[in-house]
Amino acid sequence: MNEERHHEYEPQDVEPLEHEADTMNDEKPTYPSRSEWRPKQEEHVRHKPRMNLKPLLLGGVGGFLGAALFFLAMMLWDSPTSRFVTNELIRTEQAVTVTESDITGAVTGAKTSVVSITNIQRAFTSESQWEAGAGSGVIYKVEGDTAYIVTNFHVIEEADEINVAFSDGQVASATILGEDPLNDLAVASVELPANIDVAPITLGDSTVLQAGETVMAIGNPLGVFSNSVTRGIVSGVERTVPVDTNSDGLMDYNAEVIQTDAAINPGNSGGALINIRGELVGINSMKIAEASVEGVGFSIPVNVALPVIDMLERDGKVTRPQLGVTIQEVIAVPGNVREEYGISFDNEDGVFVEAITPGSPAEEAGLRVGDVIIKIGDRDIKRYVDLRDALYRDATVGDNITIEYTRRGKAGETEATLTEAT
């Protein structure tokens, strides 16, 4: 885009983990109190002063039945049958409890698929080189002696060389196949060392994740602790987080992420977020979580990452549509420019067209410098990130889109056919 900007597991009879106790229903069966078994006394209105034996007889029978039921309840409370029912309820609750063995089993199955990555950069004027950064990656495919690794773009950004350290300590040099700064993803390939035993990670389904589900982040925390594991829960699914991909202070894209409280830091960024079955459900990203907040981490859902991974491996890039405009958010347009193009000072929404690429879809659609784009298709355009979403989420190359805009305060509408960004 030329848009420039200025199965099931067997339940085990074990005690629930301490931090999960609050997610379980620990209520025991309740039985009526002594007062609840006592029959209610009926109120009798005396109409005549003569004695009526019927209420006395009913009261006596009721009292006898109440006492009998009371003693029966006390016997049941302490009976073996009662204890059996209570234990059955506890076992039912434990069936949904995640055990320590579940966690260790999941990690054991996945950790050999997680690697440490070192970003090596060289000086322009000398042969010296240094480690510019460290992160993690995930082996998602193995073909013959070649392993394919997905990591974060920012982990390998500007690298002259990347080294991959496997779980057994062996190190090999890898080749970058493709990068996607927008999604903070990159793909690399590496020739496997002799006598190494690695397997691709099992791919999960991030669309079925639920808030509260146990997840683990595996990676290389702080660049020094290889194959470390942090545990947490899914705090939220289908979150969208504004991301500044080029550090210019403006949000470029609304990234779709999994929110988790499992610790994610620069070292385990690019590593795996796995579920209790050891399946990959996300690629951890510290870049998305730049505004670090305790207990808030983000991971790129595997179902979002896979199409990008396929394109990077096959084409070395991600194919996206372009409109062919250079824009600025209206809220940031200076007063003199507003006056020149007749933009109301009360207007803060929309994107201002600063320039149009010759021969682009925007030019062919009749857009002009000074127009304010306010809607594309069904999406309102208030900020730059909305335009990106309209093009990258809602459309693809070759689509015909409807554009609503204002020109010197007057509403206009046009259509454009999107072409592939170069």
Residue 61 burial (10 A CB sphere; 0-12, 13-18, 19+): exposed
CB 313 within 8 A of CB 294: no
Q: Which of 113, 154, 180, 389 is catalytic?
A: 154
How far is the C-alpha of 121 from the C-alpha of 128, rounded, in Å?
9
> Which residue blocks in 254-301 are alpha helix, DSSP H?
none
Asked if 399 is an active-site residue, the reply is no
Smallest CA-to-CA distance from 97 within 276, 263, 273 is with: 276
How far is the C-alpha of 95 from the C-alpha of 92, rounded, in Å?
5
Structure tokens at 130: 């240094």
DSSP three-state, residue 55: helix
Asked if 126 is an active-site residue, the reply is no
Tell me which amino acid residue 221 is: P
Cross-strand partners of 140: none
How many other C-beta atoms are found inside a 10 Å radius of the C-beta of residue 289? 20
Q: Which of 116, 269, 285, 299 is catalytic?
A: 269
Residue 40 burial (10 A CB sphere; 0-12, 13-18, 19+): exposed
Asked if 154 is an active-site residue, the reply is yes
How far is the C-alpha of 173 from the C-alpha of 412, rounded, in Å?
55
Give Cβ neighbours of residue 201 (< 8 Å, ≥ 6 apart). 110, 113, 114, 138, 139, 140, 272, 274, 279, 280
Structure tokens at 92: 């039912």
- Supply the DSSP string of 187-249, one letter for each residue: EEEEEPPTT----PPPB--GGG--TT-EEEEEE-GGGTSTTEEEEEEEEEEEEEEEE-TTSSS
Give just the sign of the alpha carbon dihedral 290, 292, 298, 299: positive
For residue 171, give Cα distances in angstroms to 133, 165, 167, 269, 385: 16, 4, 9, 19, 40
Q: Which of 102, 180, 184, 389 is catalytic?
A: 184
Q: Which residues belong to the active site?
A: 154, 184, 269
